[in-house]
């Protein structure tokens, strides 16, 4: 089983490297567009100094790999170092065709290939760009800004620099590249079937539980709780708190069944990035 996991991770990393290489050499470099993060910084420095991008991508990522080793462990750091080194070698020695000179297609599909590469690398247990490591460290240190906020601030600075160094048009197309890459990363990591967590608080918890598990075939977790203060004015009244996870397409059906049983039920929904185990698929016969 362990060998199988290693093989899957290795395959994901190889395809991730090739995909990112295709995005860079097959689309972006010839048009002087950049991506965000450390890759974008490397491309800006390469354009300004004429230093090979294959060298810069590895060198600029080294401090972030060290941070990754300190915060996320040796295995992660080794995997990421090998992945980034593989991307550097890919850029240096692998030939990719220059696919198109259409600027819109270059920006969009360059981002798609880079995003797919980064997403596959993350699924393989590594990173091709050290930005996420730095953002995680800053977020933990400050405990005020989120990881996504740090990444956004860094990329705003990068794209402002791109506007001055590459021109307004290239800078704007580069932002489009980054957006396409971000969406592709989300798709690779989360897939089409994104899940929604639903928390239901009701005095008719048992009926709702039976409706979800028997009529709809979903798994649930039941918590025992008490009311605080609500419209009925009752305090410390026992309540069953039901939690279930469903696909976005199933949420309206579940809500309809819940409100049919208890129109006063309190329902909270939140997006779920990933799930492991549990009854996520409908039971047979439903």
**pLDDT of 166-195, one tens digit each?**
899 999 999 999 999 988 888 887 765 567
Give me the pLDDT at residue 139, please: 53
* Mean pLDDT value across residues 104-127: 91
Q: What percent of the chain has pLDDT over 70?
A: 84
Asked if 111 contacts 178 with a C-beta cutoff of 8 angstroms, the reply is yes
Name the band, by pLDDT with cuts 50, 70 and 90, for residue 285: very low
Q: Give 194's DSSP letter.
A: -
Question: What is residue 151's predicted lDDT score, i.e. its pLDDT?
Answer: 72
Query: What's the confidence (pLDDT) of residue 193?
Result: 58
Instruction: Please tell me the predicted confidence (pLDDT) of residue 16.
Output: 95
pLDDT tens digits for range 55-75 = 999 999 998 888 888 777 888
pLDDT at 62: 92
| Mean pLDDT along residues 246-258 | 82
| Per-residue buried b or exposed e for 206-230, using 16+ beta carbons within 10 Å of the residue's own CB | ebbbebbbeebebbbeeeeeebeee
Per-residue pLDDT tens over the stretch 14-30:
999 999 999 999 999 98
Percent of the chain predicted with pLDDT > 90: 33
Model pTM? 0.73
Query: Is residue 232 scored above 70 in pLDDT?
Result: no
Beta bridge partners of 272: 195
DSSP string covering the chain:
-HHHHHHHHHHHHHHHHHHHHHHIIIIIHHHT---SHHHHHHHHHHHHH---HHHHHHHHHHHHHHHHHHHH-HHHHHHHHHHHHHHHHHHHH---------HHHHHHHHHHHHHHHHHHHHHTT--S-THHHHHHHHHHHHSSS-HHHHHHHHHHHHHHHHHHHH-HHHHHHHHHHHHHHHHHHHHHHH-SS-EEEEEEEETTHHHHHHIIIIIS---EEEEEEE--S-TT---S-EEEEEEEEEETTTHHHHHHHHHHH-TT-EEEEEEES---SSS-SPPTT-
pLDDT of 283 higher than 60: no
Q: Higher pLDDT residue, 47 or 149?
A: 47
Compute the mean pLDDT over every residue in the chain, rounded to the nearest whole number.
Answer: 83
Domains of the chain with bracketed CATH: 2-190 (no CATH), 195-272 (3.30.70.120)
pLDDT value of position 18: 96
pLDDT score recorded for residue 202: 83
* Confidence tier at 82 by pLDDT (50, 70, 90): very high
Is residue 219 over pLDDT 90?
Answer: no
């Amino acid at each position: 089983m362990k060998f199988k996991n290693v093989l899957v991770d290795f395959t994901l990393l190889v395809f991730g490297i090739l995909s990112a290489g295709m995005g860079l050499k097959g689309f972006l470099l010839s048009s002087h567009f950049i991506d965000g993060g450390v890759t974008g910084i490397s491309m800006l420095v390469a354009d300004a100094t004429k230093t090979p991008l294959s060298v810069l991508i590895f060198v600029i990522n080294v401090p972030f790999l060290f941070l990754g080793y300190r915060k996320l462990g040796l295995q992660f750091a080794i995997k990421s170092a090998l992945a980034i080194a593989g991307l550097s070698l890919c850029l240096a020695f692998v030939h990719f065709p220059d696919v198109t000179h259409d600027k819109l297609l270059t920006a969009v599909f360059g981002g798609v290939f880079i995003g797919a590469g980064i997403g596959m690398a993350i699924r393989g247990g590594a990173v091709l760009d050290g930005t996420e490591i730095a953002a995680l460290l800053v977020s933990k240190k400050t405990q005020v800004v989120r990881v996504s906020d740090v990444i956004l601030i860094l990329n705003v600075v990068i794209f402002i620099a791109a506007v001055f160094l590459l021109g307004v048009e290239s800078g704007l197309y580069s932002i489009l590249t980054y957006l396409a890459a971000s969406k592709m990363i989300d798709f690779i990591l989360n897939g089409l079937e994104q899940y929604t967590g639903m928390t239901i608080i009701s005095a008719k918890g048992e009926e709702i539980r039976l409706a979800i598990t028997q009529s709809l075939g979903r798994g649930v977790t039941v918590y025992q709780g008490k009311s605080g203060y609500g419209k009925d004015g009752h305090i410390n009244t026992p309540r069953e708190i039901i939690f279930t996870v469903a696909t976005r397409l199933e949420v309206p059906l579940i809500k309809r069944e819940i409100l049919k049983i208890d129109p006063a039920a309190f329902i909270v929904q939140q997006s779920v990035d990933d799930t492991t185990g549990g009854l996520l698929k409908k039971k047979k016969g439903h």
